Chains A and B, each alone.
Chain A
């Protein structure tokens, strides 16, 4: 049955599992890197940025998110990163604060719109 589905002729079930396993481990980070490449172009770089630049931004951003999570976690009891912690941290950075507020508001609106859509149809 697997042979019918797989384009490769003699891939065993074990191999298929491995492939899927690798995909789920690699893929979020691969997507991440792709998005960073997109952002480089979006914010003003040339269409094909250097790989080294990409790698550097990747490590900087990963470090940034990790640090934000750790700092935010240390602010709240019981080791959880909460929205309130993020609020406290970004109080003074207007851009981030506004952007987060806008994103969450939009999210609420979209959820509400979806719910209305579902209940009416």
Chain B
């Protein structure tokens, strides 16, 4: 976390304003009683003043990217990209808008957010409370492109056979690519229509164009010169 003391003066007024949003029943110093929430001991020396708003913005953005519906409950936010999350980055983004509001409020109530790497059991526990998400997660883990199809495509493109490792690598790459594309498209869709609406080709095309502009599309293309 960037130094809260340095920015405290600036955010005191902001904190005061935000504290108006606090639930009067909540004690800002109280440790949350959710079992899944307390992931470590609360530091009592931490003031109830809120951490800098800039950090909150960053955190919210990071959360937005990383947790994507996998961690729908209100809880202390963790931002380390644990190996588990790195695997599952293209997570379902469907419940995101609903869950973000309570999460944000919870963030403002907490003094300082501790960063702790997530463990797989905690993730699964959280998922268990949302069976639909669990289903999606299971589907995502199982989905993989058929190696025969990939090998056929590579042969058509290169005219040469390739090793099995290459096929495995390309299959994994394609799945990550599809995940990124669908995620972008879903973000675009969410900003335009409702969350439950099905994905349209238009969203996909917009996402494709966006990725092309950001140079995320093909790996070996020479990077855009920033100057």
Which of A's residues lie within 8 Å of B, judged by CB?
A: 28-29, 31-32, 35-36, 38-46, 48-50, 52-53, 55-57, 60-62, 64-73, 75, 79-83, 86, 88-90, 92-93, 95-96, 98-100, 102-104, 107
Contact = CB atoms under 8 A, between A and B. Distances in A.
Contact of B181 (A42, A60, A102): A60
Interface string B142-173: 11111011101110111110110110111111
Nearest to A56: B201
B83 to A, nearest CB: 8
B166 A82 contact: yes
B165 A93 contact: no
B181 A68 contact: no
A94 to B, nearest CB: 8
Contacts of A83: 163, 165-166, 169
Nearest to A48: B198
B93 interface: yes
B173 A68 contact: yes
Contact of B204 (A57, A71, A82): A57
Given A42-B143, A99-B87, A99-B176, A53 B204 contact: yes
Pairs A-B, 9 closest by C-beta atoms: A42-B140, A89-B219, A69-B157, A28-B149, A42-B139, A44-B92, A43-B182, A32-B149, A31-B146
Contacts of B165: 83, 104, 107
**Dominant secondary structure of chain A at its interface with chain B:** helix
B93 A44 contact: yes
Contacts of B149: 28-29, 31-32
B185 to A, nearest CB: 9
B17 to A, nearest CB: 35
A43 B197 CA distance: 14
B178 A43 contact: yes
Given A43-B178, A79-B158, 12 more contacts: A28-B146, A31-B149, A35-B146, A38-B139, A44-B69, A45-B182, A50-B198, A56-B205, A57-B204, A65-B157, A82-B166, A83-B166
B13 to A, nearest CB: 39
B20 interface: no
Given A35-B145, A53-B204, A96-B177, A65 B140 contact: no
